Amino acid sequence: MTSTSVSQIILKICHNIVMTKLPGAQQWQRTATPDGPRCKWCRRVLPEQFGPGRPRAYCSQPCRQWDWVARQRAREVQLSDEQLVMARAELNDVHDAMYVLSCAVQDVQRDLAANKQPNAKELKDMLQWILECAEPIGSLRLRP
């Protein structure tokens, strides 16, 4: 299958997509991290497992199912593990949330530069502002 036919198949499946190849250094760790092993789909830290048996790869059955669906779709359009297909709307949501957080960090940096000795209330307000802006990123869930 040629690259043009793969592109045509991808466009038929998802009208507005972005396909990228991730460099090896930027790939997400799929095994243990300092916090412990992570779910292959949602990247949440898995609970500690004791006793015999195969180590858990997913935090829940829905994550296992979504990962299976994603692998099936990738196989259909002959994508490798390093390639990603993402709906434009999901990509825009991620970019918007990252932009809001970036602006909040810049605001706090500017406030800290202007006020060398902020009091506890000012620090609390700054932290609250960053947390409010980071909350949407924590709730983003990408689906195949």
pLDDT bin (cut points 50, 70, 90) of residue 129 is very high
pLDDT, tens digit (0-9, with 9 covering 90-100), for 79-116: 887 777 777 888 888 899 999 999 999 999 999 999 88
Residue 118, φ and ψ in degrees, nearest 5: -70, 145
Q: Which residue is listed with tokens 């092993």?
A: 37
What is the value of pTM for the model shown?
0.53
Contact criterion met (CB below 8 Å) for 78 and 7 = no
State mean pLDDT over 119-135: 93
Question: Using the 8-state DSSP alphabet, how is residue 35 labeled?
Answer: T
Distance CA 129, CA 123 (A): 10
pLDDT, tens digit (0-9, with 9 covering 90-100), for 29-83: 444 556 778 888 888 889 888 888 888 899 999 999 988 988 888 888 888 877 7
Distance CA 134, CA 99 (A): 10
DSSP-derived 3-state class of residue 133: helix
pLDDT: which is higher, 85 or 142: 85
Contacts of residue 107, defined as CB under 8 A and 6 or more positions apart, other chains included, come to 129
In this structure, are strands 32-33 and 36-37 parallel, antiparallel, or unpaired? Answer: antiparallel
- Look at residue 144 in the predicted model and tell me its pLDDT: 56
Count, residues in the chain: 144
Distance CA 59, CA 64 (A): 8
